[in-house]
Amino acid sequence: MEIIGKVFFDLPRQGPGSNASTSRALKTFSALPANPRILDVGCGGGMQTVHLARESGGQVTAVDISEPLLERLQQRAIREGFAGKIETLHCSMDAMPFPDNSFDLIWSEGAIYNMGFAEGLANWQRFLKLGGYIAVTEISWLTDERPEEIFSFWQAAYPKIAGINENIEKIESVDLLPVGHFPLPVSDWWNEFYHPMEKRCQELLAEYTEASESRDFLENELREIALFREYSDNYGYVFYLMQKPPA
């Protein structure tokens, strides 16, 4: 856990994304109320949380299991003038204590894989008001071509990875209505995630010179980055946008 914190805590984001992609997804939900109640699940350091508060004019509840990252989000909210619009809760995404029908919009960037795509959607939708919306990003195959090297990597790292059409079927299987989807641009991986992470891992390798689990972790992160350089046409994060039926 120490090495994970050293790698990820100070990154601008803890996963691929950008304010531009967050805005694009949010604009799909034109029927949101003027001051929506939003739940951001697995918020991390909360760059998208603050952007949601800014763009929506709503109240955002941000959930994460990392207290240091929630503290970072609180500091960011104060710094950017949104302290009154964002509240944080330290808990697991599979044990959230909210009443049913509490939120107009549930948001999750790069975190639903911790429960599984269909499992997370099935679990979370009870917190959503009738006619409310869900927006999540999920690692997905973008093509039918899956070279053995990258296919083997993802089968080991996340066996539930699926193609876009299969994920849309999963959305429908839990009685949600697909309203749109789009892949994140490659720049969303590099600008605020992989470039700073690669630099950080290389710095830490200079400290962890002896064979260790920490060094293995750093080398595996660098391998993941190298694989994305080679195979980014084959897979990526996709924003999936959906609605809970109005009745």
Give me the tens of pLDDT residue by residue for the chain, a chain 247 residues long: 789 999 999 999 999 999 999 999 999 999 999 999 999 999 999 999 999 999 999 999 999 999 999 999 999 999 999 999 999 999 999 999 999 999 999 999 999 999 999 999 999 999 999 999 999 999 999 999 999 999 999 999 999 999 999 999 999 999 999 999 999 999 999 999 999 999 999 999 999 988 899 999 999 999 999 999 999 999 999 999 999 999 8
| Contact by Cβ (8 Å): 59, 38 | yes
pLDDT at 6: 94
Using CB atoms within 10 Å of the CB of residue 131, give its burial: 0 to 12 exposed, 13 to 18 middle, 19+ buried. middle
Inter-residue contact 204 to 6 (CB < 8 Å): yes
CATH superfamily for domain 14-186+235-243? Vaccinia Virus protein VP39 (3.40.50.150)
Q: Please report the pLDDT score of residue 247 as a whole number.
A: 80
Give the closest residue to 47 by CA, choosing from 183, 196, 241.
Answer: 196
pTM listed for this prediction: 0.96
